[in-house]
Chain A
Amino acid sequence: MGKVFAFHGGIHPPENKHQSSQSSIIKAPLAKILRIPVQQHIGVAAKVCVSVGDKVLKGQRIADAQGKFSVPIHASSSGTVCAIDLQSVPHPSGMNALCISIETDGLDQWIEHQGLEDFRALNKSQLIDYIRDRGIAGMGGAGFPTAVKLHLSDDHIVNTLIINAAECEPYITADDLLMRERASEIISGINILQHLIEPSHVIIGIEDNKPQAIRALKEAIEHSTYNIHVVSVPTKYPSGGEKQLIKLLTNVEVPSGGIPADVGIVCQNVGTVYAINKAVRLGESLVSRIVTVTGEGVSKPQNYETLIGTPFSTLLDAAGHRENNTARMLIGGPMMGYSISDTAIPVVKTSNCIIAASAREMPEPEPSQACIRCGLCEQVCPAQLLPQQLHWFAKSQEYEKAQQHNLFDCIECGACSYVCPSNIPLVQYYRHAKSSIREEQQERRKADLARERFEAKQMREQRAIDEKAEKRKARADQAAKAQEAKKLAAQNADISPENALDKLKSALSDTQAQIVSAQQALDALSGNSDASSSDTRLADLKLQQAKTKAHKLEQSIQDFKASDNTAIIDSKKLKIAAAQANTQLLKAQQALKTAQEKSLPGIEQLTATIAILNTEATRAAKAYSAVTPDAGTGSISKTSAPASASAAKQAIDLKKLKTAAAIARTKLKKAQTQYQQLLDQDLQDTDEAVALKEQLQLLGDKADATETAFISAKPEQSQAAPAAELQQNYDKAHKLYHKAFDALQKAQQANSPAVEKMQLSIDKLKVKLDNAERALNGATQQTTTVPTITATTGNSQSNVTPPVDLDKLRLRYQKALAAVEKAQLEQNPAAEKMKVAVDKLKSKLDSAEQANLETTGNDQPSTAPSQTLSPALQTDVDKLLKRYEKALVTLDKARLDSSPAVEKMQIAVDKLKAKLDDSLQQAPTTTQAATESVEKATTPGQTDQEKLQKRYNKALLTLEKARADNSPAVEKMQIAVEKLKAKLDNSQPQPAITQVVTELVEKTATAEQSDLEKLQKRYDKALITLEKARADNSPAVEKMQIAVEKLNQKSVNAEALANSEASNVLASISTESQE
C-alpha cells in the first residue's frame, strides 16, 4: 500500500489555494432567509412536506425523499416557512427551481436528535436508511445519494474504499481545512463506512500540496485500530477525478460506461464521510457544509461552515466582497465550476467554493484561433482521448465519428481547453456535441416508441378481424357438417349395394376428372417458364399421390363388386375414404392453383397439403385393406377348395407373404416419395432427412424380413436349381440396391447435385429388385408345383424348362432396361422415346408369347397329339390374335389422325366392346373344351398359367419402371400406366381362368359370371376415361386418347395372351389326359 501510479495527461494550473487556507474555518453568519432547494442531489427531487407558515426547527425534515434515488431535505435553521416557490438555484444555466424559504428566528434551535450509540447494533440496511434519512448526498460535486452508493456492496464485491481527499481544483480549500481541523471525525466516519462496506483496505487519496491535512489524518489514524492508508498523490489536475484517483491509487481503470464498484472500488468524498459521521454519531441531518470563499474579489478569503440555503451574497459580504474588483463569479473551481450572475442563490449540499475572480486573475478569453493540431490537448487529456479530433468532429457535427473517438468518455475536466494555444473552448464543443447526441438519441427513442405503439395497435386490430373471420368460418363448418350428417342419415335409410357402388363410381369419376384437371394445371405450370421447377415437381408428386388414391378407389370399387355381399359398413368406410380422398384432391388442386399464382410462398402450403394427403392416403389404404382381407380370404378359399389341404395352406402362406412383401414395398415407395418431397423442398434439414432415411431403411429391412420369411416358407423347394439361381439373382439385385442406397445417402450428405439422378437410379434398382423378387416368388411357386409335375409326368424335361424361360425373361428384362436407360439418356423428346419403350415392351410381350410357345414346344414330344385334339381352341386363339391386330390398326389410325380423336376413340371403344362380346361368347367354348380334358390333369396347366402370369407381371413392371425413369414423359405415360396397372389388376384375377378351368368342372356358371363382370368393368372404365377426356377439351385430350388406345391394346393383348394360355393349357391337359 502506498504506491502511487500515474494517469495519463493532467495539468498544473496555478493552485491559488493559499489565499483561503491561511485561516481556519469559521461559522458563516446566519442569513435572514434561507432558501433551500428541494433538489440538491442527483435523482428525484424531494417532496415538500411542510407548508407556508409552518414553524420548523433546525434539522427538521421539510421534504421527503421520493424513491430510491432521492434524499430528504432538512431545515438548516429554526424559523418559519415563508415561501415555497421557484427561485434561482446554483446551476450553470441559472435556472429556477422549487425552494423552501425559511425565515430564520435567530435561535438556530435544533430539533431533538440523538446519534446512534452503537451503529453496529443496527443491521446494515437499517443503518444505510438511517444515513439516508439524515439527507446525506455526495458532497464532492455531483450530489450522488450516498445510500445508493452504500448499497453497492450488496451486489458488487467491493474490496477497496477510497476516500477522495485530493481536492485538485485550484482555489478550493474546503476539504483541506476540514481535514486539518476535523481529522478524527473523518476517520470516525470512515469506520462507519468500513462497517457498511467491509472493504479489505481503505485508502485516503490526498494531493501532496496539503501537508497539514496529511499530517492531521495520519495522527488521527494512529488512534484508530483500522487499516486505513493515507496516500499522498502528486499534485496534478485532475487527480481528484474519481476515475483518475482510482487509477492513481490502484492502477485499475474503471471500465468505460461502468462504475468503480464494477472493479471492486467505492469512492466517497471526504466531506461526505464527515457528514455521515455527524449523522450517525450525533444524529444531525445534513444542514451545513464548508464553503471556500476566495478570489481577488474578496478581501478576506475564508472557509465558512455554512448552513444549506444561505445565499452566497451573505458569505461574500462576510468575506469582504469588492464588487468593483470582481469580473467573474464562479461556483466551484476554475476548471470545472460555472459562472453565475446572481449571488443571491443559496448554498447547497454540493457547493464547495465560490470564487469572486478579478479580471486580472481570470481575464476574458482571447478570441480563439484555428486549431493547429498541435496535440497539446492530447498530451494532457486524462481520459486518453484525441481532443483535437473530437473538436473537429464536434465542429463539423460528425457526431458518429465523435462517438467513435469516445466522446462520452470525456470527463469535461477542461485540461485540453486549459492548454490549447489557440484558445479554443474545447470542453464547450464537447458539451454541445454530447447534448446534441443525447437529444438525438432521445428523439430516436421517442420515435421508436411511437412506432412500436402504432404497430401494436395495428396488430391488435388485425387480430380482432382474424378472430371474427375464424368464428364465422367455424360456424359455417359446423353447419356444413350438420348438413352432411343429415344427408348421410338419409342415405343410410335406403342404402343398397347398387347405390353404394354408384356413389363410389361417381366419386371415382370425380377424382379422375380432378386428376386430369390437376394434370392440365401441371402441364400449364410446367409450360410456364416462370414457375419454378420445384413447384412443378411438387405438383407432379401430388398428382401422383392423387392418382394412387384414385387407383385405390378403383380397387375398392372392384373389391366392392367382387364381394357383393360384404357388409354395408365396409362400403360406408370406402365411401368415406373416397370422400376424404376427394376433398384432399380438391385441396391439392387449390394448393396447386395458389402455387401457380404465387410460385414461391406456395411451396410450404403445398408441402403441408401433401402431408395431409399422405395421411389421408394411408387412411384410405387402411379402409381398403379392411375390405381386402375378406375378399382375399374369400378368393383363396375358393381357389384352395378343390386343391389338397396342404398345398392350399402353402399357397395361402405364400400369398400372404407376397402381399406382405407388396405392402412393404408400397410403404417403401411412399417413404421414398416423401423423401423426394423433402429433397424438393430443398429442406436440407438433416434431422428430418435422417428420420426419413431411417424409415426407408426400416422399410427395407421389413421387406427383407418378408423375403426371408418367404424363403423359409419354402425350404423344401430351396434345393431346386432355378430357385437357387433366382435367389442369387435376387440377392445380387438386393445388394446393388443397398449399395446404391448407401451411395445416395453419401451423396445427400455431400449435398451434390447428383442426388436426384441417384434417386432415379435407386428407383430403377428398386424396380429391378422387385422384379427379381417376383421372379423369385414365381420360381418358388413353380418349384412348389414342379414336384407334382414330376410325380405325374415323370418327365424331367419340365424341370429344365423353367431355367431356360427365366434366362430368356431375364434377357428380355435387361433389354427393356437398356431401352429405358436410353430413353433416360436422351431426355428431350421423351414421348417418342417412351413409344420406343412401349414398342419394346410389346415385343417383349410377343417374345413372352413365343417363349410360351417354346415351352409348349418343349413339351411337344408328349403333347403333340393335343394340338390336333383342340382345334377349336386354336381357332379361338387365332381370332383373338386377329382382334389384337385390328386393335393395333385402330390404334395406329388414331395415332395418325389425332385431331378428331374423340370419334376415333368412340370407334375404338365400340370395337373393344365387340371384342368383349366376342370373348364373352368364347368363354363358354373354352370352358367346354376345358371340361373335356379337365379330369385328367389340372396341375401342369396351372403351372404354365402361372408362368405366363409371372411373365406378364414382369413385362408390366418393366413398363412401370420405364414410366418411373422417364421423368419428362411422366404426365402422359402415367395415365397410360395407371390404366395398365388397372388392367393388370383386372388380369390378376386372370389366374381365375385357370381356376375357372378347374372350377368349371363343378360350377361353370359362376366363373362365367365373374369373367363377364370383369370385362364389363374394364369397358366401363375405358368409357369413363374417354368421357373425361372429352369433357376436358385440353391438350391432354389427345394424350388421353392415345393412352386409352394403348390401354385397349393392352387389354386385347392380355386377352389374347390369356386365351392362348388357356388353349395351351387345354392342349397340355389333353396331352396329359392322353398319356
Chain B
Amino acid sequence: MAFINISSPHVQRPTKTADIMRLVIIATIPGLIAMTFFFGWGTLINTLLAIVVALACEAACIKLRKRPVMFFLKDHSAMLTAILLALALPPFAPWWVTVTAVFVAIVLAKQLYGGLGQNPFNPAMVGYALVLISFPVEMTRWTSPFELSGNAWNVLGFSDTLQVIFLGWSETIQTLAHIDSYSGATPLDTLKHRNGLTTEEIWQSSTVMANVGAWYAVSLCYFVGGIFLIYRKIFTWHAPITLLVTLALISSLFFAIDPDSYADPLIHLTTGATMLGAFFIVTDPVSSATSNKGKIIFAAGIAILVYCVRTWGNYPDAMAFAVMLMNLCAPFIDQYTQPRSYGHKQAKKGSYNPEKQS
C-alpha cells in the first residue's frame, strides 16, 4: 500500500503567498482608481507599463537563476512591487523613468539578493529612491489634479498622456502647449518651497493647496484598502497605525509650537506617500521587523525620519529613504524585540550568548 508518508501537520490552510499578494493588489485598486480619477491616465498607464516590465524582469531573472519560471511568477510579488512603484511615481513620469525604477526594484533590489523573501530592502522603495535621486526634474513634475469645483472631469486625454509619457515632456509641449497647465507641484512641495510665506499664506495663495482635496481623497482610498487588509489579517495593525500615530504626534507638536513655519498634521498624514507607505510599504513583511513590538519600533522610526526629511531635509517627501533606513535596522530591532515565550519570565534579548544559556 502506498500511503503518503510525511510529517505533521497533515492539513494546511489554503491561503497561499499568491493569495496574500493578490489581496494586497486588490487593496490598491481604490487608490489606483482615485489617482486616475484625479490626476489622469498617467498613473494607470504607468502601472500597466510597470507590471509588464516587472514580470519581464522577474521572468528573465528566474530563468537565469534556473528556477521554474511560472511557479515563481505566480506568487504575484513582482506585480505588487510594480503597482506600488507606479502609484508612487508622478503620473507624467516618462516611460524610461518607470522602466528604470522597475528594473532596479526587481533585478537589483530583489532577484540579486535571492528573490522573494531574501531582499533586505523594500524593492519598490529602492527603485523609487534611485530614480528620485537620478531624475529630479521628472520626479518632481507632478500633475495638478482636476478641480472638483470645476464644471466637469477635466484631465489630460489618454492619447495626450501617452504622448507625454512616451515622447517626453519637452517634445510634447511643442505640439501640445496646453499640457503645461496640467502640471503642478504637490502640496508638500509647495509647503517646502514656501519662499518665506507662512503656512497660512500658502494655504491662501497656492492653487495647489486649493486642490488639496484630491490628495485627501487618494489617501482615503489607500486607507480603506489598508483597513481591508488588516481585516483580512494579511498584516497586523502594529506598523501602519504606529506610523500614522507617530507622524501625527510629531507634526502636531511642531505645528503647535509654530503654526507659521510647520505644516499641519493633516497635511502630513494625507499628502505625499504617507498612506500608501503606511499600509502598503511599511507592511512589507520581508524587509520589516518581525515581532509586533519590533514592527512598532520599525514604524515609529520611519515616521520620525519621514517628518525630519520632509521638514528639514532636501526632499519634499521621504517615505522611500525612511523605509530603506529602517530596513537596515530591522535585523537589529529583531534581536531585541523577541516576544516573551510561553513559560518564560521575560523575553530573551540580544544575540546568542553561550554564557547566558543555562
Cβ–Cβ contact B286 & A334, under 8 A? no
Given contacts A339-B6, A371-B117, A405-B338, contact A255 B343 (CB under 8 A): yes
* Contact partners of A372 in chain B: CB under 8 A: 17, 20, 77, 116-117, 285-286
Contact B117 A400 (CB under 8 A): no
Point out the residues of chain A lying under 8 angstroms from B233, CB to CB. 376, 379
Chain B interface, DSSP helix/strand/loop, else mixed? loop
Binds A, one of B154-162, B246-254, B350-358: B350-358
| Residue from B10, B75, B285, B353 in contact with A337 in the complex, judged by beta carbons closer than 8 Å | B10
Verify A400–B13 contact, CB threshold 8 A. Answer: no
Q: Are B291 and A383 in contact (CB under 8 A)?
A: no
Contacts of A11 in B (CB 8 A): 13
Q: Which residue of B lies closest to A401 (CB)?
A: B352
Given A243-B343, A370-B115, A372-B117, are A404 and B7 neighbors across the interface (CB < 8 Å)?
no
Question: Once the chains bind, are A386 and B20 in contact (CB under 8 Å)?
Answer: no
Nearest B residue to A332 by beta-carbon distance?
A: B8
Interface string of B9-34 (1 = CB under 8 A from A): 11111011101100000000000000
The answer to the question of A145 belonging to the interface, with a C-beta cut-off of 8 Å to chain B, is: no
Contact pick for A370, options B3, B4, B6, B116, CB 8 Å: B116
Provided the pairs A386-B291, A400-B352, A422-B17 are in contact, do residues A414 and B343 lie with their beta carbons within 8 angstroms? no
Please pick, from A329, A364, A378, A421, the residue contacting B20 in the complex, using a CB distance under 8 A: A421
Query: Is A418's CB under 8 angstroms from B11's CB?
Result: yes
State whether A341 touches B3 (Cβ < 8 A).
yes
On chain B, the residues within 8 Å of A414 by CB distance are 8-9
Residues of B contacting A352 in the complex (Cβ-Cβ under 8 angstroms): none
CA distance A378 to B293 in the complex (A): 12
Known A-B contacts A254-B343, A326-B3, A389-B334; the reply to A335 vs B9 at CB < 8 A is yes
Q: Please tell me if A143 contacts chain B, counting CB pairs below 8 Å.
A: no
- Determine whether A307 belongs to the interface, using a CB cutoff of 8 Å to chain B: no
Residue of A with least CB distance to B288: A373
Assembly CA distance A875 to B291 (angstroms): 113
Complex interface: chain A residues within 8 A of B3 (CB): 326-329, 339-341
Residues of B within 8 A of A674 (CB): none
A384 pairs with B339, CB closer than 8 A: yes
Question: Distance in Å from the Cβ of B35 to the closest Cβ of chain A?
Answer: 26
Decide: A404 and B8 in contact? CB cutoff 8 A.
no
Contact with A along B308-342 (1 / 0, CB 8 A): 00000000000000000000000000100011111
Distance (whole angstroms) from the CB of B339 to the closest CB of chain A: 5
Q: Quick check: is A632 within 8 A (CB to CB) of the other chain?
A: no
Complexed CA–CA distance, A83 and B233 (Å): 57
The distance from the CB of A52 to the nearest CB of chain B, in whole angstroms, is 29
Judge whether B10 and A339 touch: CB under 8 Å: yes
| Max chain B Cβ within 10 angstroms of own Cβ: one of A339, A382, A383, A421 | A421
The stretch that binds B, out of A425-433, A546-554, A777-785, A980-988, is A425-433
B5–A404 CB distance below 8 A: no
Among A92, A371, A384, A401, point to the contact of B342 (Cβ < 8 A). A384
Q: Chain B residues near A419 (CB, 8 Å)?
A: 13, 15
Report the separation of the CA atoms of residues A412 and B353 in the bound assembly, to the nearest whole angstrom: 25
Contacts of B118 in A (CB 8 A): 370
Q: Using an 8 Å CB-CB cutoff, how does the interface string of A684-704 with B read, 1 for contact, 0 for none?
A: 000000000000000000000
Interchain CB contact under 8 A, B7 and A374: no
Q: Are B9 and A334 in contact (CB under 8 A)?
A: yes
CA distance A256 to B346 in the complex (A): 11
Encoded as 1 (CB less than 8 Å from any B CB) or 0, chain A from 1013 to 1031 comes to 0000000000000000000
B317 CB to nearest A CB, Å: 26
Judged by a CB distance under 8 angstroms, whether A357 is at the interface is: yes
Q: Are A373 and B1 in contact (CB under 8 A)?
A: no
**Is A375 an interface position by the 8 A CB rule?**
yes
Interface residues of A in 983-1018 (CB under 8 A from B): none
**Residues of B contacting A255 with CB < 8 Å?**
343-345
Q: Is A367 an interface position by the 8 A CB rule?
A: yes
Given contacts A369-B116, A373-B286, A375-B236, A384 and B8 within 8 Å (CB-CB): no
Asked whether A113 is an interface residue with its Cβ less than 8 Å from the other chain, the reply is no
Smallest Cβ-Cβ distance to B339: which chain A residue? A384
Interchain CA distance A372-B339 in the complex, whole Å:
19
Instruction: Decide if A418 touches B341 in the complex (CB within 8 Å).
Output: no
Quick check: A409 and B344 within 8 Å, CB to CB?
yes
Q: Which residue of chain B lies nearest to A413 when distances are taken between CB atoms in the complex?
A: B9
Q: Are B343 and A258 in contact (CB under 8 A)?
A: yes
CB-based contact A357/B8 at 8 Å: no
Complexed CA–CA distance, A935 and B252 (Å): 122
CA distance in complex: A403, B356 (Å) = 11
The reply to whether the CB of A274 lies closer than 8 angstroms to some CB of chain B is no
Establish whether residues B342 and A409, one from each chain, have CB atoms under 8 Å apart when the complex forms. Answer: yes
B285–A375 touching, CB < 8 Å: yes
Is the beta-carbon distance between A417 and B285 smaller than 8 angstroms? no
Q: Which residue of A367, A406, A428 contacts B344 across the interface (Cβ within 8 Å)? A: A406
Q: Is A682 an interface residue (CB 8 A)?
A: no
Residues from chain B with a CB closer than 8 A to the CB of A338 are 7-8
With an 8 A cutoff between CB atoms, is A336 at the interface? Answer: yes
Chain B residues, CB < 8 A from A329: 1, 3
A386:B116 contact, CB within 8 angstroms: no
Q: Does A127 sit within 8 A of B, measured CB to CB?
A: no
Q: Say yes or no: is A753 at the interface (Cβ < 8 Å to chain B).
A: no
The smallest C-beta distance from B67 to any residue of chain A, in angstroms, reads 10
Chain A 60-100 interface mask (CB, 8 Å, partner B; 1/0): 00000000000000000000000000000000101000000
Given contacts A13-B13, A383-B342, contact A337 B8 (CB under 8 A): yes
Q: B residues 52-82 with Cβ under 8 Å of A?
A: 71-72, 75, 77
Known contacts A378-B291, A409-B342; is-contact A404 B351 (Cβ 8 Å)? yes
- Min C-beta distance of B134 to chain A, whole Å: 29
For the complex, give the distance between the alpha carbons of A369 and B16 in Å.
9
Cβ of B348 < 8 Å from any Cβ of A?
Answer: yes
B117 interface neighbour in A243, A373, A409, Cβ under 8 Å: A373
Known: A243-B342, A336-B9. A403 touches B357 (CB 8 A): yes
B198: CB under 8 A from chain A? no
The contact of B341 among A332, A379, A383, by CB within 8 Å, is: A383
Residue B290 is within 8 A (CB to CB) of chain A in the complex: yes
CB distance from B21 to the nearest CB of A (A): 9
Given contacts A372-B116, A404-B351, A423 and B12 within 8 Å (CB-CB):
yes
Q: Which B-chain residue is minimally distant from A421 (CB atoms)?
A: B17
Is the Cβ of A367 less than 8 Å from the Cβ of B71? yes
| A386–B8 touching, CB < 8 Å | no
Instruction: Let me know if A591 is at the binding interface, CB within 8 A.
Output: no
Determine whether the beta carbon of B12 is less than 8 Å from that of A328.
no
A13 contacts B11, CB within 8 Å?
yes
Report whether A406 and B348 are in contact in the complex, using a CB–CB cutoff of 8 Å. Answer: yes
Nearest CB of A to B295, in Å: 8
A254 to B341, CA, bound (A): 11
- A406 and B341 within 8 A (CB): yes
Contact B290 A7 (CB under 8 A): no
A367 (CB) vs chain B CBs: closest residue: B71
CB-based contact A404/B10 at 8 Å: no
Counting from the closest, the 5 A-B pairs by CB-CB distance are A414-B9, A370-B117, A256-B343, A334-B10, A404-B352
List 26 interface pairs A-B (beta carbons < 8 Å), by A numbering: A243-B343, A254-B342, A328-B3, A328-B6, A329-B3, A339-B10, A370-B114, A372-B20, A372-B285, A375-B285, A375-B291, A379-B233, A384-B339, A384-B342, A386-B334, A404-B357, A405-B338, A405-B348, A406-B344, A414-B9, A417-B12, A420-B12, A421-B15, A423-B12, A427-B7, A427-B8
Q: Which residues in A have some Cβ–Cβ distance to B below 8 Å?
A: 7-8, 11, 13-14, 92, 94, 170, 243, 247, 253-258, 323, 326-330, 332, 334-343, 357, 362, 364-367, 369-376, 378-379, 382-386, 388-389, 400-401, 403-406, 409, 412, 414-415, 417-423, 425, 427-428, 431
A sample of 14 more A-B contacts (CB under 8 A), given A337-B8, A340-B5, A388-B290, is: A247-B342, A334-B8, A334-B11, A336-B8, A340-B3, A365-B6, A370-B116, A374-B17, A376-B233, A379-B236, A414-B8, A414-B9, A417-B12, A425-B7
Interface residue ranges, B against A (CB under 8 Å): 1-13, 15-17, 19-20, 71-72, 75, 77, 114-118, 233, 235-236, 285-286, 288, 290-292, 334, 338-345, 348, 351-354, 357
